[in-house]
Chains A and B, each alone.
Chain A
Amino acid sequence: MVDGGIMSKEKLEVKNLDVYVGKKQVLYGISLEIGAGEIHVLMGPNGSGKSTLANVIMGLPGYSVKGKLLLSSKDFSKMSIPERARAGIFLAFQNSPEIDSVKNVNFMRQASLSCGKNVEASQFKREFEEALNRVGLNAEFYDRPVNFGFSGGEKKKNELAQLIILNPKFAILDEIDSGLDVDSIKRAVNIVKALAAEGKGILLITHSPLLLKYLTPKRIYVMSNGRIVKHGGSEILSKIEREGFTAFDKRM
């Protein structure tokens, strides 16, 4: 049973990660550590490798990985994608695929059952409806085919609803703000804050410093060309706002 409880001493660690796509190296020596209840932010321009890192943590195929991936000090690099999900890792996709033949509710029901969340059908129905409501999706999204015909913003909201239902320990949110209007961004931010307060560790991937106006991350990492070129507290935010990412990468 996945439990993102407040007193958890869980950690998600990435140590010295080198990632290759075929013969080409795409990530160099990536290290970061996310503790329970912490919000970490990964920033950088397009193509810097942020989504690659997210995909590698989730276990998506197509990459050769060297280095360590640890969940509460246990190596999870050999685990399959569903096993990682069950262990408590969640990825909100940058571009979530559409599955036109499966209804949103059925998909979520199957997923939550697979993750060990065994509640009665009518209770699940209520929980899912609540989750949809909380993220700002109306009741019709309950029955609609997964992501099919959803706008960009609606897809992001759907990812968040899934996160709420599956209750993971760690969540990687890849560009959760794209396609959302200001009100929806504020709503998403509140959800992220609440999830962290519940004890979940969050890695927020974004290339828009605007999102961070409303959050206080524990740590900010700046990526460029597959490397982490700078990390620090919120003090580096103002520098990014003034000078953009180029401030940190002499090679750019």
Chain B
Amino acid sequence: MLNKDLVVEISKSKKEPEWMLQIRLRALELFLKTPLPTWQIPSLKDLDFDSISYFNPQNIRATSWEELPSDLKRVYKKMGLPEAEQRWLGGTIAQYQSEGIYAKLKEEWQRKGVIFCSLDDAVKKYPELVRKHFANVVPVDDNKFTLLHYAVWSGGSFLYVPRGVEVNFPMQTYFFMKDKREGQFEHTIIIAEEGASVQYIEGCSAPVYDANSLHSAVVEVYAKDNGKVRYSTVQNWSKNVYNLNTKRAIIGKNALMEWVGGSLGAKVSMLYPSTVLAGEGACASHLTITLASKGTVKEGGAKVIHLAPHTRSTIISKSICIGDGHGVYRGLVKIAKGAYDSVSNARCDSLLIGRHAKSDTFPHSDIQETKGTSFTHEASAGRISEKQLEYMMSRGIREQDAMMLYVSGFITPILKEIPLEYAIELNRFIQIEMEGSIG
């Protein structure tokens, strides 16, 4: 039951300070009063907020092979993932690193003053630092789902990189969350102080079963002046999941923010990572691959707001719709008054593979400053043409292989930015999904 008692219980069990409890309670109050959004394409009417389990210090995952849905078992088999592999059932990250390497890396980052721990821990260990950065990039009342999130959030990472520190190895969540992954209401805060740079990776390309069907995570990123943050994520939740996250970055002078994402799974997803270019010379790049497989509606996109002059943004979105999958791109590029000499380029392509596949593109642009600014947006939708397929086949390539070759090429610009181990699995997963539905 989603009520005040539940929220108080969550806060108490975490031994949170009073200010955090107040945020939760305020969020809950507003959430209960706010109606569901209606502008989106997927239907959210099946969401039953009272039946979701919000309070589970241990994640609810399948603990036996038998419990898994059969289509998931089929995919695991095809990907060659052994039944016994607990980490798949546990929903943790693709890679496993040896304790020794982990210890060494931990020692290095601690020496540099980097803080990397769960947000639950950070609230208690670094209260001022957290309080200063919590709920500022993504305000509590941003949308109905952030309201829910702020009421019941649990888990997530806190990554703080001090001034001038450049972290050369990617920070991955499994460093401290090998067994305790709580996907659904995670809150992550990443802070790169002036001149700092860091890469953060999370997610899983292989399909992960989660009995929890609502995910409403929030990610807040600060890249201060001359800071650099790259946030890479690949998600492949099972087909019962509604993935409705809010991710935003605010970046300063000459800072760089890179969002790289693969959205493969879930029944419904609404993901529009956004970057606010607050400082002069800031740059943002948004790269996404979205797979809308059978029976899914996947909304994705990007929001970029240029507030300062000399800023740059690039958006590349590639979506593949299989079966009757429905891919939707919703973008917003705003160049505010005063943001002169700013340039934004967006490109979104949809490949409709299934006979009943659908694609919608809604690219809003709001150009308030026209001095020296330039905005371009290009989009395309359609299938691989017969002529192209025949040509490839005339070179001896089977139809199925030709389609796969084309699709691989289609997603390559983004695939090459995704960490290798995820990329390989992502590619393999898409192949399997396509095999199941060519024609």
The answer on direct contact between A and B (beta carbons under 8 Å) is yes
A-B contact count (CB 8 A): 73
Known contacts A60-B390, A81-B390, A93-B391; decide if A101 and B406 are in contact (CB<8 Å).
yes
In addition to A81-B393, A82-B399, 15 A-B residue pairs with Cβ atoms within 8 Å of each other are: A80-B393, A85-B393, A93-B391, A97-B388, A97-B391, A102-B408, A107-B395, A110-B401, A110-B405, A111-B395, A111-B396, A114-B396, A114-B397, A115-B395, A162-B395
Within 8 A of B (CB), among A171-193: none
- Tell me if B397 and A103 are in contact (CB < 8 A): no
Complex CA gap A147/B408 in Å reads 17
B393 with A82: CB separation less than 8 A: yes
Contact B397 A102 (CB under 8 A): no
Closest to A96 in B: B391
- Residues of B within 8 Å of A166, CB to CB, are 395-396
Closest chain-B Cβ to A61's Cβ sits at a distance in Å of 7
Q: Which of B393, B398, B406 contacts A99 (CB 8 A)?
A: B406
Count contacts on A: residues with CB < 8 A to the other chain: 30
The residue in B385, B396, B401, B406 that gathers the most chain A C-beta atoms within 10 A of its C-beta is B396
A58 at the interface (CB under 8 A from B): yes
A91 close to B398 (CB less than 8 A): no
Q: How far is the CA of A101 from the CA of B414 in the complex (A)?
A: 12
**Is B110 an interface residue, CB under 8 A from the partner?**
no
Pairwise interchain contact A107-B393, C-beta atoms closer than 8 A: no
In the complex, whether A106 has a CB less than 8 A from a CB of chain B is yes
A86 within 8 A of B: yes
**Which of B386, B392, B408 has its CB near the most chain A CB atoms (within 10 A)?**
B392
Question: In the complex, A47→B364 CA distance in Å?
Answer: 48
CB distance from B318 to the nearest CB of A (A): 9
Residues of chain B at interface, number, CB under 8 A = 21
What secondary structure prevails in chain B residues at the interface with A? helix
Which B374-425 residues sit within 8 Å CB-CB of chain A? Answer: 385-388, 390-399, 401, 405-406, 408-410, 412
Residues on B facing A (Cβ under 8 Å): 385-388, 390-399, 401, 405-406, 408-410, 412
Taken together as a complex, chains A and B put the C-alpha atoms of A144 and B207 apart, in Å, by: 34
Instruction: Flag A94-121 by CB within 8 Å of B: 1 or 0 each.
Output: 0011110111001110110011000000
The residues of B that contact A90 with a CB separation of less than 8 Å are: 394
A interface list, Cβ under 8 A from B:
58-61, 80-82, 84-86, 90-91, 93, 96-99, 101-103, 106-108, 110-111, 114-115, 145, 162, 166
Q: Cα distance A50–B224 when bound, in Å?
A: 66
In the assembled complex, how far is the CB of residue A103 from the closest CB belonging to chain B, in whole angstroms? 7
Given A106-B409, A107-B392, verify A97-B398 contact (CB < 8 Å).
no
CA distance A106 to B415 in the complex (A): 15
Question: In the bound complex, what is the Cα–Cα distance between A99 and B390 (angstroms)?
Answer: 11
B388 proximity list for chain A (CB < 8 A):
97-99
Whether the Cβ atoms of B401 and A114 lie closer than 8 Å is: yes
- The residue in chain A whose Cβ has the minimal distance to the Cβ of B393 is A81
Closest to B385 in A: A97
Complex Cα gap A81–B397 (Å): 9
